[in-house]
Structure 1
Amino acid sequence: MNSFLLTIILFLILIFLLLTRTKQCSSSSSTRVPPGSLGFPIIGQSLSLLRSMRANTAEQWLQQRVNKYGSISKLNLFGKPTVFIYGQAANKFIFTEDRSTVANQQTQSIRMILGDRNLMELKGEDHKRVRGAIMQFLKPESLKRYVGKIDEKVRMHIQMYWDGKQHVKVLPLMKTLTFNIICSLLFGLERGKQRDRFLDCFQTMIEGMWSIPINLPFTRFNRSLRESSKIQKMLKELVQKKKIELTKQNNIIASSPQQDLITSLLCMRDEEGKEVITEKEILQNAMLVMVAGHDTSSVLITFLVRLLANEPAIFEAVLQEQEEIAKSKLASEPLTWEDVNKMKYTWRVANETLRMFPPIFGGFRMVVKDIEYGEYIIPKGWQIFWVTAMTHMDSNIFSEPSKFDPSRFENQSSLPPYNFIPFGGGQRICPGYEFARIETLVAIHFLVTRFTWKLCADNFFKRDPMPVPTQGLPIQIWPRKLS
């Protein structure tokens, strides 16, 4: 009983502090702040946005704001005063603005779950240093060596979960596949109890990343924090183990297809022989890569399967491209980097899928000092909220946006910049872009050349915050032979 009363008292104190903070924020920088309401303290419009995302009406919810206030408005999301901006100019502003005025910073819930030393939080030279270290592993020249490994994991996955089956649920299986690939390539973890523990903790952790940051028992946020601590502990044990292995090898490891991301980061040294990236940065960026690589790729592959079931002509065109590649190889011969680069039409289909069903709903930036945007002032300390689909589905940018048309991406360089942003834009494009491309194309290659399928449920999906199809997208499958 005493602990319950203490929790209530602390909660009331938190409300009082946030009320005071909200009043201070709402009165700052004169009356030139954007139009709109900050709503209730702490909660603001968070619950309303989350409800609309789960009902798959979030874009309409935001369009109503645009209709009422224009392309910029203020609101309160996840406990912080926020400005929502929309349009090509807004996207360009987000991805090109100097970091001394608009910096990386996610919501408090994400920051507390993933930490403050990951790429989404780091600024200036720290961001450049850590991004550069991760890009050494994820750049195309390095990823060429990993196509065969991804091929091996996809074949094994199909053999275990697809062959001999009549019905499967696509999304859970794609989450299993992408998690297995991440664990193998990024952490050097193969099948076993340790990897299974990672998966259980990880799935619970990501559920509370978009949530109101009130750390009370039985909330999603509280559960996510607990699982985050467990994952960090397991990763720390893994890092220590790899450090011991490196010490036994005199701290020298040759670059090879077997080298995982953590080993790669541990081996990096500057000109003076000092570590390029700290252990804390390794742990937190490993967690970030887990989230990005697991959810985005699994959702993209799932929606490609969904799309191909509804578009027979597109399925046949993808199948024809993939069969041409398959015919040029022995059945046991793995795909290569050159094979992946031949999958041009399939990647156009994937891009159109990303346009209509982007895995990442949107993101946040933090205002470092008062800045002028349009005719308004965005105060220091506020966050900026941008949403991917708002330009993807804008008829002024993409004609007939509800029509699935892969030909939009025949010449992607001709598209107006900062409108198609599933992986970000400019210098801030996601460093895992090429990894996601390879993972997606290899998976689709084996699915379309080995199976045909039809949907067993309706086409509804919700965002939580990633798009989640009804019942995990159950399908009926039939094996096929190479034509």
Structure 2
Amino acid sequence: MEVTKLIVLPAVLALFVLFLHFIKRIIKLRKLNLPKGTLGFPFVGESFEFLKANLEGKQIRFIQERMKKYDSKVFKTSLFGENIAVFCGPAGNKFLFSNENKNVQVWWPSSVKKLLRLSLVNKVGDEAKVTRRLLMSFLNPETLRNYLPNMDRIAQHHINTHWKGKEQVVVYPIIQLYTFELACCLFLSMEDPIDVSNLSSYFEEFLKGIIGFSINFPGTRFHKAMKAADEIRKEIKMIMKKRKVDLDEKKASPTQDLLSHLLATPDTSGRFLNEVEIIDNILLLLFAGHDTSRSVLSLVMKYLGNLPQVYEQVLKEQLEISQGKEAGELLQWEDIQKMKYSWNVASEVLRLSPPVGGAFRDAIKDFTYADYNIPSGWKLHWNTHTTHMDPTLFSNPEKFDASRFEGEGPTPYSYVPFGGGPRMCLGQEFARLEILVFMHNIVKRFKWDLVNPDEKFKYDPMLEPENGLPIQLQPSQYTW
């Protein structure tokens, strides 16, 4: 009996303390001037409405309806079991981007945390700064320019293998072969088509479980994603084991790819990333380095197919670049700098149809914003649609107009497909090169018509075409 009391009494006291803490929290929240909005049902909140809007390709509807109903500056909701304040407009973006490690820090749903573990996406504070600096020393323009000719070679080989001689292709799955092959080559020096294909198959399962409820039960998306992540890590670990030997024996170069870079380069404190950190960061970059670009390039193909006048201007710019080169000469850094109109086109695609709708932060202290109280522990969200489709920032926002990016370009904090501040997408320059190299090669080789010009795109979780975007190809008269 005495033993039972010793076990039960502390447990009861602990539950009582938790209950008091919960009541105290509720009383505190009721005294606060929280943003307007609704938290929906317990735990699930408005998650199903949010996911439904994503799958219908109407995330913008979910955001704009609540901005109009509650407040255009900030509103509250509940997603994935968390109370969330959605910050809107350039002022909201500026506040979140400029308050990293002051009032806020990065946060992701538990599905992301569990799948991407010790990668940069889950690190905060000084640890995040150090890891980001190490990764950026490989992903900066000065380093990537050395890989540009190889990127051009991969794009040409991809088009010759998967597009040449075809009357019809389904864009989304085929472009994934290009973006994933490119990521595997630059990050792991993996070029064998069978190895690339095998690894790619796991990423499809991984991607579908990345955002959502982290219910690790057989049959769920998250369970499949966890299993896929395990297989991807096993493959990276085998490659890393061999690479360590090759580096020791001088059979591999420290600048060969991202893997060699991480194995051979310490961070600013002199510390080398451990094995798990290297694997998790390469997993992150393989995922981010090809899925978002696949989405953007599919949308570029859609817009160029629907807008022949824009296609002709892109083609004209790319032909002028080719005409100044020797036969068979690969793209160089100076050529990329000449692709101003093509990048304006890609930027307008990113404005109209950003592959990722936004990201999350965590309030690390109580603060006030727009006269509302934001409690510590609440999650915060910024969303591209609050600015990209705002007619006061982009006149006629539904219209495709690449000239928006000429001169000084959009208002600060209004164009945010890559985020902003200390957490800005570190793969931005890699994505720019990946997109422009593909555009350069595809427009010279083909014109195309969309089989279904009105095909919808949906967020699942990246923006993707419902039917893969089939197109009819016509070979171009230009062969160089």
TM-score (norm: length of structure 1): 0.90
- Once the two structures are TM-superposed, the CA of residue 248 in structure 1 deviates from its matched residue by 2.1
Q: Tell me the secondary structure at the aligned position of residue 37 of structure 1.
A: coil
Q: What is the Cα deviation at residue 61 of structure 1?
A: 1.7
Match of 2:303 in 1: 307
Q: Distance in 1 between matches of 2:51 and 2:129?
A: 33
Deviation at 1:181, TM superposition (A): 0.2
1:73 is displaced (CA, Å) by: 1.8
Q: Deviations over 1:207-244 (max 9, x none)?
A: 01111222222111111112112212222222222122
The correspondence of residues 27-426 of structure 1 with structure 2, limited to 5 A, is: 27-29=27-29, 30-70=31-71, 71-115=73-117, 117-249=118-250, 253=253, 255=255, 259-269=256-266, 274-411=270-407, 413-426=408-421
* Paired residues, number: 459
Q: Partners of 2:431 and 2:417 in 1: how far apart?
A: 12
Q: 1:28 Cα shift? A: 4.3
Distance 1:291 1:24, change over 3 A: farther
Query: Per-residue deviation at 1:289?
Result: 1.0
**What is the CA–CA distance in structure 2 between the aligned matches of 1:22 and 1:178, rounded to whole Å?**
48
Partner of 1:99: helix, strand, or coil?
Answer: coil
1:154 and 1:471 mapped to 2: Cα distance? 24
SS of 2:76 mapped into structure 1: strand
Which amino acid in structure 2 is aligned with residue 466 of structure 1?
A: M
| Alpha-carbon shift at residue 68 of structure 1 (Å) | 1.5
The structure-2 alpha-carbon separation of the partners of 1:24 and 1:295, relative to structure 1 and needing over 3 Å to count, comes to farther
Question: Could you tell me how far 1:44 is from its partner in structure 2?
Answer: 1.2
Give CA-to-partner distance per residue, 1:261-313, whole Å, 9 cap, x none.
Answer: 011011113588x4332322211111211221111111111111110111111
Change (3 A) 1:245 1:450: same
Higher CA-based Rg: 2
| Cα shift at 1:380 | 1.7
Partners of 1:221 and 1:23 in 2: how far apart?
Answer: 33
Structure 1 residues 27 and 288 mapped into 2: Cα distance closer, same or farther (>3 Å)?
farther
- Scaled by the length of structure 2, the TM-score of the pair is 0.91
Q: Do the aligned partners of residues 327 and 342 (structure 1) sit closer, same or farther apart at CA in structure 2, a change above 3 Å counting? A: same
**SS across alignment from 1:395:** coil
Q: Which runs of 5+ in 1 are unaligned?
A: 1-17
Q: Percent identity?
A: 38
Q: Once the two structures are superposed, what CA deviation does each residue of 1:309-343 show, in whole Å capped at 9, x if it has no partner? A: 11111111111001111112233111111111110
Task: Report the AA paired with residue 31 of structure 1.
Answer: L
2:12 aligned partner: none
CA distance in 1: counterparts of 2:21 and 2:165, whole angstroms: 60
**DSSP 3-state at the match of 1:381:** coil
Spell out, residue by residue over 1:39-97, the C-alpha distance to the aligned partner (whole angstroms, 9 max, x if none).
22331111110101111222112111111210222221112121111111100112110
Partner of 1:6: none
The answer on whether the counterparts of 2:170 and 2:470 sit within 8 Å (CA) in structure 1 is yes
- For residue 427 of structure 2, the aligned residue among 411, 428, 432 is 432
Task: Report if aligned partners of 1:138, 1:434 keep a CA contact under 8 Å in 2.
Answer: yes
Deviations 1:133-181 (A, max 9, x none): 1111111110110111111110110111001100001111111100000
Other structure's SS at 1:471 match: coil
CA distance in 2, matches of 1:238, 1:28: 53
Amino acid at match of 1:79: G
For residues 469-480 of structure 1, the aligned pairs below 5 Å read 469-480=465-476
**C-alpha contact 1:351 1:409 (8 A) present in aligned 2:** yes
> Which amino acid is 1:384 matched to?
L
Q: Distance in 2 between matches of 1:43 and 1:90?
A: 25
Whole-angstrom CA distance in 1 between matches of 2:304 and 2:84:
38
Query: Residue type of the partner of 2:405?
Result: F
- Residues 444-453 or 64-73, more deviating: 64-73
Cα pair 1:207 1:220 within 8 Å, conserved: yes
Aligned-partner SS, 1:232 = helix
- Equivalent in the alignment of 1:12: none
Equivalent-residue separation in structure 2 for 1:446 and 1:40 (angstroms): 50
Amino acid corresponding to residue 154 of structure 1 in structure 2? A
**What is the one-letter code of the residue matched to 2:105?**
A
CA contact (8 A) 1:361 1:465 kept: no
Per-residue CA distance 1:184-224 (angstroms, 9 max, x = gap): 01111112443333111111001011112222221111111
Return the letter of the residue paired with 1:428. R
Q: CA deviation at 1:119?
A: 2.0
Provide the rounded CA distance (Å) in 2 between the counterparts of 1:28 and 1:231.
45
Of 26-35 and 87-96, more deviation after overlay is shown by: 26-35
The worse-fitting range, judged by mean Cα deviation, of 383-392 and 371-380 is 371-380
Aligned with residue 459 of structure 2, among 460, 463, 477: 463
Provide the rounded CA distance (Å) in 2 between the counterparts of 1:22 and 1:90: 30
Does the 8 A contact of 2:358 with 2:419 survive in 1?
A: no
Instruction: State the SS of the aligned residue for 2:322.
Output: helix
User: Matches of 1:345 and 1:396 in 2, distance apart?
Assistant: 24
* C-alpha RMSD over aligned residues: 2.1
Gaps of 5+ in 2: 1-17
Amino acid at match of 2:431: A
- Whether contact under 8 Å (2:254, 2:260) holds in the other structure is no
Deviations 1:431-463 (A, max 9, x none): 111111111011011110010100002332211
Q: Is the Cα–Cα contact under 8 Å of residues 19 and 41 in structure 1 kept in the other structure? A: no
Indicate if the aligned counterparts of 2:34 and 2:374 stay in contact, CA closer than 8 A. Answer: yes
